[in-house]
Amino acid sequence: MAPAVPAPLLAYIMFTAAHQQLLLVLADTFIPSLPAADAHAGFLQGHGAERIRLELVAAAIEAQPERAQRQFRQLLALLDSRLLGLSWGGPLRPFGQLTAAERERLLQCWAQSPLPPLRQGFQALRKLLTFLYYADSVATAPNAAWAAAGYPGPLALTDGLVDTPRPLPTLQPDRDVTYSCEVLVIGSGAGGGVVAGELAAAGHDVLVLDKGPYCHGCDFNQREAEMIGKLYDGRGTLSTTDGGVTLLAGSCLGGGTTVNWAGSFRTPDYVLEEWAREHQAPHFTQPSFQASLDAVTAALHVNTDYARHNGQNQALLDGSQRLGQPTRLIPRNELGLDDSDQHFRGLGFSTFGDRYGIKQGTLNTYLKTAAAHGARLLPDTRVARITQEAGRATGAEALHTTAAGQAVRVTVRAKRVVVAGGAIQTPALLLRSGLHHPHLGQHLHLHPTVAVSGAYPWPIEPWYGPSMSVVNDSCTRLDGTNFGAKIETPPAHLGLMAMTLPWLSGAQHKQLMQQAAHLGSFIVLTRDRDGGRVRTDRHGQPLISYRLSDFDRRSMLAAVRTAAEIHVAAGAHTVFLPHGTLPTLQVQDGRIQNPAVLDGLPQLDWSPNRFGLYSAHQMSTCRMGGQRATHPVSPTGETYELRGLYVADGSAFPACSGVNPMLTIMALAHYTAQHLKADLATAVPRVAVAAG
């Protein structure tokens, strides 16, 4: 019997009543009720429709570009049609009229379909519904699935919680307004935050706009679904147009530095040498850029003084050592960290924002400096376009959303404009502002990432401790090239785990989620040689195209094999390989019992939506270099096409960084800020700066 549709939803729902009913039936198919009589009977007997809030489904879809919304509605229309049977060779009946076994079989057929749109539809539904089932909670009650998985959910409030007034003053316009400033900075993360702090401290009048919200301390409530929906671009559902890659990008004050994993890698020398040589950007190997790296490293208090590793990182360390593979400690940007259980547990939740004030992102460093020197900050403000006159940037037009939901038009008049919205939003903004450099939006690099998970006899509890503290570089430069992959560890919480782990059936996925406390995951972070592209739709929203090349897939699979072997050496009894068919290694006494499975990985079909591919790093869509014809941005950070317009984020990387990019972005922004200071020093002095 189909579940009942809940009472009318308070949030705007784009779905018809029939589609709401259909979504609930789909939820029950992905997360079915299973017979059980043990201590976790409640979890096994629970089902998707009883816990998934359709208003969150609707919010996720509304955050997508128009094209993706249209595709989702078409998907629901197909599922609600008798013609559905033609897609899988089953009865000519809508999804809701199939038996439970037939529904599951349909999803299994779609997962392996030769037709890309069916695989894309399956993955879109699977990721969204399983994520919400395991990630969602409300303040008054934990998610009922958590206890069975051993997941603690948000930690109890303690004396370590930052429960102080927000230290950064922000503008709060309640009517259409015009601001004037010397420098407009769009974005407040690793790029924009540094530029704002540097220029404000140098005495320049700075205005910072960010499309995301301002959160501080106890605003970061550690509830996974709410925080990802609030702090990430597209509510955490940003993806390529074919659905083959899910992208995580911070969209809040502080940007990626607020939600990242605190890894603070210096740019490898061989990457800087490559950038300088191949992109006519000699500054990357000069002392001035090293000085910028030193400056941001000091400002962020980068160190390796943390007291202990979490279960995943300890497994990576132990397994690597037993195989004779060298590892390094990952420098992290944290201050005031101690060896207490409170700090150790709390670090694992900082991908939802750090409510203890330990992580030294731009919220706690450069933006504070900027505000202390008079910079104005305006969050919740989406920039529509850069304005220009006579070949020079003159400001921007934007829309601010007040706390009450009111839309306020914002006009900014500026002497210089710095765009630092990230490698997806920055090219989209430049394109809808009329820039048309042929390489703008091209050369998108993603550090394409897959997860290799191991089940251990002992608890791993991957949600505690620093998300990443150990790195294995044995696959970083393969076959004498500068390309390969790093092996690191990711943040692990139930929603992200449910979304990442392959689904073969409702029972298999539930039983796998029951093992969550014993699962440790390594990620293979690939330095991709071959890139994708960002375009815009008719509304100016970004459309992302990317497909893993054969070259980059070989790099990825070499590191997948190594990651699996590290799990085995670390003591895992089962290893789950990152493909939709869930190839699984069985281990006994430290030996793989079915090595043919590992050997057969290259022969599997690795086309889009046959495996889970993810990206937390986006780069190079407005790449910097000395050749105007092939690089939209000059080595000073100024665009070739429009004077007074600068780019200061990961989109300006000449190519993929090969390491977690925060520190490189910040160093490049710091370097660009020095050019801006020199540029402004040559400008005609202004009499006064007006503020609306």
- Name the one residue in this structure whose structure tokens are 């198919």: 29
Query: Taking CA 682 as the corner, what is the angle to CA 679 and CA 685, rounded to the nearest 5 degrees?
Result: 115
**CB contact set of 275 (below 8 Å; sequence gap of 6+):** 281, 284, 653, 654, 655
How high is the pLDDT of residue 522? 98
Q: Which fold has domain 177-214+265-299+361-441+622-681?
A: FAD/NAD(P)-binding domain (3.50.50)
CB contact set of 102 (below 8 Å; sequence gap of 6+): 90, 91
For the purposes of burial, counting CB atoms within 10 Å of the CB of 456, is it exposed (0-12), middle (13-18) or buried (19 or more)? buried
Single-letter residue type at 93: R
Dig out the tokens for 220 from the structure: 């970061």
Token pair of 691 as six digits:
């503020």
Distance CA 352, CA 250 (A): 10
Using an 8 Å Cβ cutoff, are 677 and 202 in contact? yes
Domain ranges of the chain: 17-141, 177-214+265-299+361-441+622-681, 449-615
Q: What angle do CA 174, 180, 184 make, to 5 degrees?
A: 95
Per-residue pLDDT at 11: 35
pTM of the model: 0.95
Q: What is the pLDDT of residue 9?
A: 37
Give me the pLDDT at residue 159, please.
Answer: 57
Helix (H) or strand (E) run with residue 328 in it: strand 327-329
Pairs from 580-584 (Cβ < 8 Å, separation ≥ 24): 580/111, 580/112, 580/502, 580/609, 580/610, 580/611, 580/612, 581/112, 581/502, 581/504, 582/502, 582/504, 582/508
What is the structure's pLDDT at 13? 46
Asked if residue 256 lies in contact with residue 249, where contact means CB atoms within 8 angstroms, the answer is: yes
Strand order in the sheet with 532-536: 442-444, 532-536, 542-545
Q: Which residues of the chain have pLDDT under 50?
A: 1-13, 686-692
Contact (CB, 8 A) for 332 and 264:
yes
